[in-house]
Amino acid sequence: QYVLGIETSCDETAAAIIKNGREIVANVVASQIESHKRFGGVVPEIASRHHVEQLTIVFEEAMQNAELKFEDLSAIAVTEGPGLVGALLTGVNAAKALAFAHNIPLVGVHHIAGHIYANRLIKELEFPLLALVVSGGHTELVYMKEHGSFEVIGETLDDAAGEAYDKVARTLGLPYPGGPHIDRLAHEGNPSIDLPRAWLGEGSFDFSFSGLKSAVINTLHNAKQKDIELDPKDVAASFQASVIDVLVTKTGYAVDKYKVKQLLVAGGVAANKGLRAALEKEFATREGLELIIPPLSLCTDNAAMIAAAGSVLYDKGVRSDLALNANPGLELTSY
Ligand code: ATP
Ligand code: MG
Ligand code: FE
């Protein structure tokens, strides 16, 4: 069974083909980062235009790399939301056109379900499991009792982890996207600045990063006023220490409470070296728990993850018709 995945929710135009749900046979990602960098963030209109230019090239390259014809495909999976509406529309329309022209079943996929299913490209999933989702727009703990079942047990009340990384990076004058730059600096600095951690009350699996972000901005501002030199490396290290502390601690509570067999990590911030090391240290050797962390290329946006999720949903009988529409605010619910 071959599934073609298409992903255009933000600033990556991506197409991939997955065999039997778990094996990558083609994985093409055209990043637009260079086009958005000078604006310090993703410009939606520019993103949509790039997708339109790149989409055909990208999925044709994926088909060529896989040495497949359209009639070999069992399904076409596409990100229907959440994301930028114009960007999503380009992918949804391309997928609909291909599905209609070649008479192939179409499956709409939630972008975060995709991020989570990136893990299945590494290991077969075992339930119940917990997924720590840390991306540009989401910070969530998701409980799964079976394939296609998603229960959000905690989420961010304000900024997502990746958003906080990008905003702090911007304040430090680092280029977009700032996550990898903070990560690099953090490793050279010391977490010597005292920054807050938002625990949000006992037993809460929710997150909040806007207070931390403001604390970093205030610390930098106050230091400047008093003519104190703060080393950006120490600022990065202190910020990162706070983020990791909260993420790892809350994940630990959830792992204990829900007695899961696997802990999956998903989303762009899962590419963070400090976070990966902290999760390994805390969970890799826990009795009865398997920790899965995808390689960096499967943490950030890609279409392999969309095809992986689409493949499972297709097996469950999920189908979309040609009325499928982009849904920028799509909620993660069970299929
Ligand atoms: P969402 O998936 O929530 O819709 P998105 O698709 O824009 O949002 P991703 O592509 O999953 O988000 O992740 C991008 C985010 O990951 C950016 O905020 C980026 O700064 C962050 N990121 C990437 N690498 C790292 C890293 N090494 N350390 C921290 N953050 C990182
Ligand atoms: Mg991106
Ligand atoms: Fe994403």
pLDDT digits (tens, 9 = 90+) for 65-102: 999 999 999 999 999 999 999 999 999 999 999 999 99
Cα of 176 vs its chain's centroid, Å: 16
Give alpha helix (H) positions in the chain: 33-37, 44-66, 85-102, 111-117, 161-171, 179-188, 210-225, 232-258, 273-283, 296-299, 304-315
Q: Does 330 score more than 90 pLDDT?
A: yes
Cβ contact 279:164 at 8 Å = no
Cβ contact 297:58 at 8 Å = no
Average pLDDT in the chain = 97
- As a whole number of Å, the CA-based R_g of the chain is 20
Q: Is 245 labelled a binding residue?
A: no
Ligand 1 binding pocket includes 183 (Cβ within 6 Å): yes
Q: Residues with Cβ < 8 Å from 41, sequence gap 6 or more?
A: 166, 176
pLDDT band for position 147 (cuts 50, 70, 90): very high
State which residues have CB under 5 angstroms from ligand 2, the bound ion.
10-11, 301
Which one-letter amino acid corresponds to residue 37?
A: K
Residue pLDDT, tens place only, 199-221: 999 899 999 999 999 999 999 99
Which residues are 143's β-sheet partners? 130, 151
Ligand 1 binding pocket includes 138 (Cβ within 6 Å): yes
Distance between CA atoms of residues 27 and 63, nearest Å: 10
Cβ contact 42:36 at 8 Å = yes
Q: Residues with Cβ < 8 Å from 93, sequence gap 6 or more?
A: none
Ligand 1 binding pocket includes 111 (Cβ within 6 Å): yes
pLDDT value, residue 33: 87
pLDDT band for position 185 (cuts 50, 70, 90): very high
pLDDT band for position 323 (cuts 50, 70, 90): very high
| Average pLDDT score over residue span 145-165 | 98
Tell me the C-alpha to C-alpha distance, in Å, between residue 74 and each of 1, 77, 306: 6, 10, 14
Ligand 1 binding pocket includes 239 (Cβ within 6 Å): no
Which ligand gives the minimal distance to the CA of 300? 1
Report how far ligand 2's centroid is from the alpha carbon of 79 (Å): 14
| Average pLDDT score over residue span 278-306 | 97
Grouping H, G, I as helix, E, B as strand and the rest as coil, residue 75 is strand
Distance between CA atoms of residues 26 and 36, nearest Å: 26
Q: Does 122 score more than 90 pLDDT?
A: yes
| Interface confidence: ipTM more than 0.95 | yes
Ligand 1 binding pocket includes 29 (Cβ within 6 Å): no
Residue pLDDT, tens place only, 4-22: 999 999 999 999 999 999 9
pLDDT value, residue 38: 87
Q: What is the pTM of this model?
A: 0.97
| Average pLDDT score over residue span 255-279 | 98
Cβ contact 297:121 at 8 Å = no
Distance between CA atoms of residues 139 and 159, nearest Å: 8
Q: How much of the chain is in helix, strand and coil states, percent to nearest 5?
A: 45, 20, 35
- Tokens 């806007």 belong to 210
Which ligand gives the minimal distance to the CA of 135? 1
| Average pLDDT score over residue span 39-66 | 96
Phi-psi region of 158 (alpha: psi -120 to 50; beta: other; left: phi over 0): alpha
End-to-end CA distance of the chain: 20
Structure tokens at 153: 């047990």
